[in-house]
Structure formats: structure tokens, C-alpha cells
């Protein structure tokens, strides 16, 4: 199983007769290798199976390759993000008084249900760099980056690993509208394009 280590995890999956896998493209602080993905693409009795990678595009996750120290509180480990207090949105840079942190982390995802996830400004150029365009300067020191050239996006990495496709999760975060989004809209109206300030 997954808890018995990487090798056991890959071997157990590869030995199954499933026609499709939908799995995380990462394991234990590094990406799956192209060879591991290719192993998973073939059934034990022959025949090809589809291997689809998981990618959250509507939430940031602390255990991902892009969780750079500049955006992370060490204790308790969490993203340095904005928040909504009494119906008022407060950006991350106002909360932490630090111009160096990314200002596109809005608040804890899912009302704080998952401590390791935050809601990004999904249209922000830096988030798009991480997900699809490439060129992001952010890197987690706890992640093995040796498999990819600097600047590879999450989609680039999934393609490089040889996956057959990608499942984009948390897309609904982009269309959600609740009190937090209403507070953000009010802040945007009063401070146009605040999130693009360097």
C-alpha cells in the first residue's frame, strides 16, 4: 500500500487489473518517474491501461513542489495567506507586513477544513505560471526538483512524467461565490488590481 513505501505502492498498483488509474503524480516529496508511470500503464496479463494524474488548480497545497518558504509559516506549518474578518477581506501582505510574500493566497480552503490548503487568486499570473505557463520562481526545499528543469509548470511536469491525461480538481473554486468572495469583490472594487502590485 501507499504507507509501505514508494516501491510497494507502485508494485501493488501495477499488479492490479484495473483499466484506468487516477493517481497523484507525486509521492513522498518527489514526482513519479517516467519509468514508474510506464510500469503502471501496462497490466500484468498484457494490455494497456490509462494513467491519469491528479492536479488541484483551485487550491494550493503545502506538500507540492511550489510551496516556497516565502509563502509558508513554519509553525504551525501553513500558507501565509489573506483572510476575511467580520466581512472584510485582508490581503496576505497586510496580515504579515511583508512585501516579499505572494499576495495571491486568499484564505484557508474549504473554510479551514484542510489546514494544508489555501484558495489562490486563480487568475493571477503567478498561479498560472505554477499550473500551466511555467517560469515560476517558487520551489519547496522539501521537494526533490532534480527530475525537471527549472521553470517547469505542473502541467509540464505531468507531461514529462508520461501520464495519459490529467484530472483538474477544485475547478469549482473558480465559480464559488460565498461571503468570502463577496468580501474579496468589495476589496477589489476599492483597490483595483491590488494583487498585481510587486
What would the pLDDT profile of 70-126 be if each residue is shown by its tens digit?
A: 999 888 889 999 999 999 999 999 999 877 889 999 998 887 787 789 999 999 999
What would the pLDDT profile of 21-53 be if each residue is shown by its tens digit?
A: 999 999 989 999 999 999 999 999 999 999 999
Residue 143 has a pLDDT of 94
Residue 2 has a pLDDT of 63
Q: What's the pTM? A: 0.91
pLDDT tops 70 at residue 161: yes
Per-residue pLDDT band at 54 (split at 50, 70, 90): very high
pLDDT tops 70 at residue 1: no
The set of cell numbers assigned to 137 is 520562481
**What is the phi/psi pair of residue 175, to 5°?**
-110, 0
Amino acid at each position: 500500500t501507499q504507507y509501505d513505501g514508494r516501491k510497494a505502492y507502485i508494485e501493488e498498483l501495477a499488479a492490479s487489473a484495473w483499466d484506468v488509474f487516477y493517481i497523484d503524480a507525486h509521492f513522498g516529496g518527489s514526482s513519479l518517474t517516467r519509468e514508474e508511470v510506464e510500469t503502471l500503464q501496462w497490466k500484468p496479463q498484457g494490455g494497456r491501461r490509462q494513467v491519469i494524474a491528479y492536479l488541484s488548480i483551485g487550491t494550493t497545497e503545502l506538500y507540492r513542489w511550489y510551496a516556497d518558504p516565502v509563502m509558508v509559516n513554519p509553525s504551525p506549518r501553513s500558507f501565509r495567506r489573506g483572510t476575511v474578518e467580520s466581512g472584510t477581506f485582508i490581503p496576505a501582505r497586510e496580515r504579515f507586513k511583508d512585501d516579499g510574500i505572494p499576495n495571491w493566497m486568499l484564505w484557508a480552503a474549504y473554510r479551514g477544513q484542510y489546514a494544508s490548503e489555501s484558495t489562490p487568486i486563480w487568475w493571477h499570473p503567478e498561479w498560472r505560471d505554477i499550473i500551466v505557463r511555467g517560469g515560476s520562481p517558487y520551489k519547496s526545499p522539501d521537494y526533490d526538483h532534480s527530475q525537471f528543469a527549472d521553470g517547469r509548470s505542473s502541467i509540464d511536469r505531468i507531461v514529462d512524467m508520461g501520464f495519459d491525461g490529467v484530472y483538474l480538481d477544485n475547478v469549482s473554486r473558480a465559480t464559488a461565490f460565498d461571503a468570502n468572495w463577496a468580501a474579496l469583490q468589495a476589496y477589489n472594487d476599492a483597490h483595483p488590481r491590488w494583487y498585481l502590485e510587486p
